Amino acid sequence: MKTAGGDLLVIHILPVRFDPRSGSAEYWRRWRFRVDVSESDVEIASVALARSEFSLGDVVSAEVAVVHRGPRLDAILCAAVLGEGGDSTVEALPTRRLRDLEGPASFSAAWDSGGAPPGSYELRIELRSPNGALLAAESAGFLLGRASVSTKGLKVLPSTLWPGMPGKVRLCFANDGECPVSGQAVVRVFDAGGNQAAHLEAEVLGLAPGASRRIELEFETETFRPGSHDLRGFVLYDGTASAPVAASLLVVPIPVRLELSPKTLNLRDRGRWITAFIELPRGIPIQKLAVESLRLQEAVPPSGPAAIGDHDRDRIPDLMVKFDRASLIERLVRPPAKPPARATIVVTGELDDGRPVRGECALRIQR
Ligand SMILES: [Ca+2]
């Protein structure tokens, strides 16, 4: 853009790279620009590389388009391959004298990359006058050495767990490219509603070509809700992601042991209560069970006294809690249908931190 005081260069950048396959975004805080200015009638319109990535040993070729708007002149075409950032010259290509340059013209440049290590490079093209003055310059960047990571597998251990049980995932991946790869191994856990329940990440440093790696990541499940969960594992590297691999995880309520007394429900008896003994898995104190949250058949609340003891004498404390017998019978027997001979009684409830519990046992029914 021309301004009164000179030329104004405006650079618009979107410093974000979004990968739709992994849903990840990457952005850079620091940018570096190099601005070359020269006053001449000759312009390098473009340096078009055959590709932006080349395999090790490939011939890197480019078409150079030049426009000269003044009277015919001779110019020298200089081409060089520079290292990352354009700071060092890797190889200077033979110079060429362009005679009687007039109007648009194009030239090709090629570099045999044999023996060069993988990395990012720059092809710099300069047009100079026969006495060496710079007339125009342009460069194009490319990558040498194909970077590629493939994700091989993802496993959850265990594949069924309850909230609070530690989970572990194992992600396997391999470098099937030509250059060492560094990046992040990522595993994301989504609940049945598609919300992210966990995000796990581990640094991957210098994974050599041909090498594979297995990474184990542990995760907390205290806040997980019961239901199926989907996991996606991938590796982020060079601003891209390996194709994700999937696994699934089932979260169940904390299993409780349920025992009823009596074990047979005699419909002709006139008892007031049915007594339940509830035991939590080892490691979770029975005091954490919110007694008032308990329900039989998802409907019948505790109605009698409750006490902590060890009914089955296995040294794991259990809770004795009484339920209204008539309310339970009402749920099990629906006249005019004949009463069933047996029923599965389900107890549900919560711990005081909101984690769900569930247990069941069989109950005989005597008419
Ligand atoms: Ca016990």
11 occurs within a structural domain = no
The more confident residue out of 25 and 117 is 117
Distance 256 CA to ligand 1 centre (A): 11
Query: For residues 351 and 223, what is the distance between their CA atoms, to the nearest angstrom?
Result: 12
Q: In this predicted model, what pLDDT tens digit does every residue of 106-131 receive, in sequence order? A: 999 999 999 998 888 999 999 999 99
CATH of the domain at 46: 2.60.40.3880
- Asked if 175 and 211 count as a contact pair (C-beta separation under 8 A), the reply is yes
- Residue 276 sits in the same domain as residue 212: no
| The two structure tokens encoding residue 358 | 């569930």
- Residue 104 sits in the same domain as residue 183: no
- Asked if 350 and 363 count as a contact pair (C-beta separation under 8 A), the reply is no
- Residue 274 sits in the same domain as residue 184: no
- Residue 154 sits in the same domain as residue 233: yes
Helix, strand, coil in percent for the chain, rounding step 5? 5, 60, 35
CATH of the domain at 184: 2.60.40.10
- Residue 96 sits in the same domain as residue 184: no
Secondary structure of 170-211 in HEC code, one letter for each residue: EEEEEECCCCCEEEEEEEEEECCCCCEEEEEEEEEEEECCCC
78 occurs within a structural domain = yes
Q: In this predicted model, what pLDDT tens digit does every residue of 89-104 receive, in sequence order? A: 999 999 999 999 888 9
22 occurs within a structural domain = no
Q: What is the reported pLDDT for 215?
A: 97
Distance 320 CA to ligand 1 centre (A): 10
286 occurs within a structural domain = yes
Q: In this predicted model, what pLDDT tens digit does every residue of 247-288 receive, in sequence order? A: 999 999 999 999 999 999 999 888 899 999 999 999 999 999
Distance 316 CA to ligand 1 centre (A): 4
Q: In this predicted model, what pLDDT tens digit does every residue of 194-232 receive, in sequence order? A: 999 999 999 999 999 999 999 999 999 999 999 999 999
At residue 325, φ and ψ (nearest 5 deg) are -65, -45
Cα distance from N-terminal residue to C-terminal residue, the chain: 96
- Residue 134 sits in the same domain as residue 232: no
Q: What is the reported pLDDT for 305?
A: 83
Single residue among 125, 144, 163 that ends a domain in this structure: 144
- Residue 133 sits in the same domain as residue 218: no
Distance 258 CA to ligand 1 centre (A): 10
19 occurs within a structural domain = no
- Asked if 224 and 155 count as a contact pair (C-beta separation under 8 A), the reply is no
Distance 281 CA to ligand 1 centre (A): 10
At residue 23, φ and ψ (nearest 5 deg) are 70, 15
Query: For residues 362 and 255, what is the distance between their CA atoms, to the nearest angstrom?
Result: 16
Query: For residues 118 and 178, what is the distance between their CA atoms, to the nearest angstrom?
Result: 7
- Residue 47 sits in the same domain as residue 137: yes
User: Cα angle at 362 between 358 and 363, to 5 degrees?
Assistant: 120
Distance 332 CA to ligand 1 centre (A): 27
Which domain does 140 fall in, by range? 36-144
- Residue 171 sits in the same domain as residue 189: yes
- Residue 282 sits in the same domain as residue 359: yes
- Residue 81 sits in the same domain as residue 52: yes
The β-bridge partners of 320 are: 277, 307
| The two structure tokens encoding residue 18 | 């979004």
Distance 311 CA to ligand 1 centre (A): 6
Query: For residues 196 and 207, what is the distance between their CA atoms, to the nearest angstrom?
Result: 28
Task: Pick left, alpha or beta for residue 303 (phi over 0 → left; psi -120 to 50 → alpha; otherwise beta).
Answer: alpha
The β-bridge partners of 217 are: 169
- 25 pLDDT higher than 80: no
CATH of the domain at 307: 2.60.40
Which class for 291: exposed (0-12), middle (13-18), buried (19 or more C-beta within 10 A)? middle
42 occurs within a structural domain = yes
- Asked if 44 and 66 count as a contact pair (C-beta separation under 8 A), the reply is yes
Question: For all residues of the chain together, what is the average pLDDT?
Answer: 91
- What proportion of the chain, given as a percentage, has pLDDT over 90? 74
Single residue among 99, 114, 144 that ends a domain in this structure: 144
- What proportion of the chain, given as a percentage, has pLDDT over 70? 96
27 occurs within a structural domain = no
Total domains, the chain: 3
42 Cβ contact partners less than 8 Å away, ≥ 6 residues apart: 66, 67, 68, 69, 70, 73, 75, 101, 127, 135, 136
Distance 293 CA to ligand 1 centre (A): 20
28 occurs within a structural domain = no
Element (H, E) at 331: helix 325-332
Distance 312 CA to ligand 1 centre (A): 5
Distance 274 CA to ligand 1 centre (A): 18
- Residue 325 sits in the same domain as residue 357: yes
DSSP letters for 97-138: EEEEEEEEEEEEEEEE-TTPPSEEEEEEEEEE-TTS-EEEEE
CA 159 to chain centre: 19
Single residue among 218, 251, 284 that ends a domain in this structure: 251
Mean pLDDT, rounded, for 351-355 = 95
